[in-house]
Amino acid sequence: MRININLARKLVFIYCLVCFVHQHSLSTILYVGEKEQFSGIKKALAASNNGDTIIITKGIYKEGNIVIDKSVCLLGRDMPVLDGELKYEILSIKKDSVTIKGLRLQNSGRSAMNDPGAIKIYNASYILIENNYLHNNFFGIFLQYATHCIIKNNTLKASQKEEYQSGNGIHCWKSDSLQVIGNRIYGHRDGIYFEFVTHSVIWRNIAHFNLRYGLHFMFSHQNAYITNYFKSNGAGVAVMFTKKVIMINNTFEENWGDAAYGVLFKELSDCYLSGNRFYRNTTGIFFDGSNRITAERNLFKSNGWGMRIQANCMDNKISRNNFMGNIFDVTTNGTLTLNEFSENYWDKYEGYDLDKDKIGDVPFHPLSLFSVIVERNPPAMLLFRSFMVSLMDKSEKIVPSLTPETFVDNKPCMVPHDI
């Protein structure tokens, strides 16, 4: 028997169309509110089916822990309030394909044993959390064993004064393929925390005044951090035990303190940094046990130390960066350096350019003798700007003897790079 191919295609198309219409005809919209069909969110969830939308109207809802075990969409109208009364985890998501949008979630429970949050995702995928306001919670948004989730345009504020009293704003653990986009995070322990997270993007977030780190990630490989702004966090940003990370166009500003950095790189490898700006930090970047990192076209301006590279770092390429207005541009704690500096702009460079190719004719040794002394004996900083220190640094520039010979930029730029 011969089959008409065109007829078969038409029948398949009609069948798919009927299935699509039937599926969407079964989804319904349920309303929650004082004068709506459901007075509580839990009641609406109990009556809902996969694919339904629950619209929560303006009001204050104190329903304890709300478990979402269906693929539904929770939409807030006029920013309704879900209050955890400082006792409960507010929303627990345990099903794929859930959307949480337009809600104010506040006063989650506090516990160091089970880490309650305003929103917690348990082993679920394709979750969208967008345009919510989270206030005075322990953890803000907590993801564990989550994949293909989007956390977008949320505002998270906490008011705890000590680290042990607060969880992290956006906390991600053992997850993959996440998008953390356009969130504002204030006052948590860490603004954004990644641990064992891969193939994810952190983009256009702002983390201010968090108690410890604006961004903190460990054992989280092959991620990208793009156009984020980190300001006045307790210790800046920490990137630890990680490889194959891309950091582009981020700003690290005003992270001050004895152990504060724009970025701390500890045991990092095979990473790329470009277009980042380090303003007014105690240390712009601190390299510790970090190898094969390419840092190009970054700006280090008005920091205490622009860059501190420990002796256990090697094969790093520092090129075409601008070092401007730092007390110390670079420093190290060892006598041997296996890193490469090339074509950077140093505002402390006093060389000349006779052939007018915008490359200095005399190599530049950016490592001052006094910076090496301070690295080994921090109290020596009390002598900064003294006559003897100035004389010692000038002498070292003319006849280098105590600083590593290989710590040199052979092609210093005469004009700043366009970053």
Q: Examine the domain organization and report whether 180 and 294 are in the same domain.
A: no
What is residue 355's predicted lDDT score, i.e. its pLDDT? 87
- Considering 234, 267, 289, which residue would you say is the last residue of a domain? 234
Is residue 192 one of the residues assigned to a domain?
Answer: yes
What is residue 2's predicted lDDT score, i.e. its pLDDT? 47
- Residue 348's domain spans which residues? 278-419
How much is the pTM? 0.87
Q: Examine the domain organization and report whether 388 and 305 are in the same domain.
A: yes
Q: Examine the domain organization and report whether 219 and 315 are in the same domain.
A: no
Q: Examine the domain organization and report whether 90 and 144 are in the same domain.
A: yes
Is residue 264 one of the residues assigned to a domain?
Answer: no
Q: Examine the domain organization and report whether 58 and 166 are in the same domain.
A: yes
Q: Examine the domain organization and report whether 165 and 286 are in the same domain.
A: no
Is residue 259 one of the residues assigned to a domain?
Answer: no
Mean pLDDT in each 10-residue stretch from start to end of the chain (419 residues)? 50 44 63 93 96 97 97 97 96 98 96 90 98 97 98 95 88 98 97 97 97 95 97 94 96 90 95 97 95 97 94 94 94 81 94 89 83 68 62 62 74 92
Q: Examine the domain organization and report whether 83 and 206 are in the same domain.
A: yes
Number of domains present in the structure of the chain: 2
Is residue 412 one of the residues assigned to a domain?
Answer: yes
Is residue 1 one of the residues assigned to a domain?
Answer: no
Q: Examine the domain organization and report whether 174 and 310 are in the same domain.
A: no
Is residue 116 one of the residues assigned to a domain?
Answer: yes
Q: Examine the domain organization and report whether 81 and 206 are in the same domain.
A: yes
Q: Examine the domain organization and report whether 339 and 415 are in the same domain.
A: yes
Q: Examine the domain organization and report whether 229 and 297 are in the same domain.
A: no
- Considering 234, 260, 286, which residue would you say is the last residue of a domain? 234
What is residue 12's predicted lDDT score, i.e. its pLDDT? 45
What is residue 401's predicted lDDT score, i.e. its pLDDT? 59
Is residue 9 one of the residues assigned to a domain?
Answer: no
What is residue 389's predicted lDDT score, i.e. its pLDDT? 60
CATH of the domain at 106: 2.160.20.10
Q: Examine the domain organization and report whether 194 and 298 are in the same domain.
A: no
- Which H or E run includes 372? helix 369-376
- How far, in Å, CA of 416 to CA of 313, rounded? 26
What is residue 380's predicted lDDT score, i.e. its pLDDT? 65
